[in-house]
Amino acid sequence: MTPLEAPPAPPDQKLLWAPHAWVGGRWRERVLLAVGDDGRWYSVQPDTAAPPGAEVLNAALLPSLVDAHSHAFQRAFAGFAESRSGEHDDFWSWRDRMYRIALRITPAQLRAVAAHLYAELLAGGYTQVCEFHYLHHAEDGRPYADPAAMAWALADAAADAGIGLTLLPAVYERAGFSQAGLRADQRRFRAGAAEALALQQAVVQSRRPLVDAGVALHSLRAVRTESLHEVARRCTGPIHIHAAEQTAEVDDSLAATGCRPIEWLARHGGLDERWQLVHATHTKPDEIAAVARSGAAVVLCPGTEANLGDGLADLPGWLAAGVPLSLGSDSQVTRAWPEELRWLEYGQRLVLRRRNVAADPASQPDTAARLFDRMLAGGAAAAGQACWGLQPGARADALLVDLDDPALQGMPPARLLDAIVFAAPATPFSRAMVAGRWAAPDRARLASRHREAMTALVGG
């Protein structure tokens, strides 16, 4: 095909030209992209010659993904729970140890840890992070003078790194279905629906660049039914909730409500397109069908779910039902989406003893492409964005793929995504673009602040 002549660009637009770019679910050649002065893609034109003045990229351009589930403070705990002192170790014993970090970290330390993490996430191919934020109060459990102090620490950290942020202040009211309140070691998490909604509004009204907000509900066991319904009634952004991560959680829900967690949410929670069910690990086919009918979505966190021994989600079931999916880094033991996609597919292969489980010979026979495009589309709603990817109207975010990376050398363009997901031990992204600008965090400064915070939190 002969390249088209590039049309004259409207004023105040930045032009990029890539020899290969992932557009519409496949690699396209000679792609001209225009960035509007609003930081969004104005146009994306394959088979187009590079015009004078365009930034010519000698690499492939790939859409970034949304990290749809993050607890940034847990980056300070990653690597500190990989030993066992008793006969049994599981999610719940991990959680008790994790609380020790949660009870100590200050706003300044949270900013340092989160900024370091967010720079890592940029390098791992994410340009937007959904921060499931329940670390609200001071170490003694009393509110800060500014109730949003920890939220601003996260927003400042995102600005330090240059990543987009969807802040999700969480409702967290009780330690379990039968508990009236929180445990002593959960004192920093306390927030009702009114407090979480007020934090959301404070963040939205601050109009910080690249920062938006929704609301989180920690879990069905940790919030009152009235609070869940109030959030569903009043929240105008995305609503995230941990759901069916652990079998013990499912058993407790059955005992307390007569329903499994996702079953209860589908029947009584008012699920719609705003809702993001995080983990959704333990499901039955009728629950998957109910979620699909509601329009709600699922956030999978394969690295964390493996690290914590949660179990494996029914990936074939979610894919077949057409439920929107996205990825999350959660506890931060993994911080790159290619590794998450590997875990997601390889876990299924090990259990089912089959290969290319996520592929669909009828619609998308390439496993990496099908998974990537589902996560690309699903991440938009998780972050409160209307659309995502290399398409007009989406925020101008992208990844520059280093074709000189040893894992990619000699790969034909059609197989690049397969190699990135299944054959690249390191993440082969040389740069990340956020809202039309190449991100350039001061990594030396962020590293210095992070080391100082970690020394104070955990020692030398």
| 393 three-class SS | coil
Tokens of 73: 């403070």
User: Cα torsion for 240, 263, 189, 211, to the nearest 10°?
Assistant: 0
Give the separation between CA 138 and CA 45, rounded to whole angstroms. 51
360 alpha carbon, distance to own chain's centre: 25
By CB atoms closer than 10 A (0-12, 13-18, 19+), residue 119 is buried
Angle, in degrees to the nearest 10, between helices 285-294 and 261-268? 30
Q: Which one of the listed residues 330, 373, 397, 405 is annotated catalytic?
A: 330
Tokens of 375: 């996560």
User: C-alpha distances in angstroms, 211 versus 99, 433, 450?
Assistant: 27, 16, 22
Nearest Cα residue to 150 out of 163, 164, 131: 131
Kind and range of the H or E run holding 164: strand 164-171
CA angle 91, 384, 173 (to 5 degrees): 45
Q: Which one of the listed residues 279, 314, 402, 405 is annotated catalytic?
A: 279
H helices, E strands: number in the chain:
14, 17
Amino acid at 182: L
User: C-alpha distances in angstroms, 108 versus 89, 115, 122, 430?
Assistant: 32, 11, 21, 29
Sequence-separated (6 or more) residues with CB below 8 Å from residue 84: none
330 catalytic? Reply is: yes
Q: Which residues are catalytic?
A: 279, 330
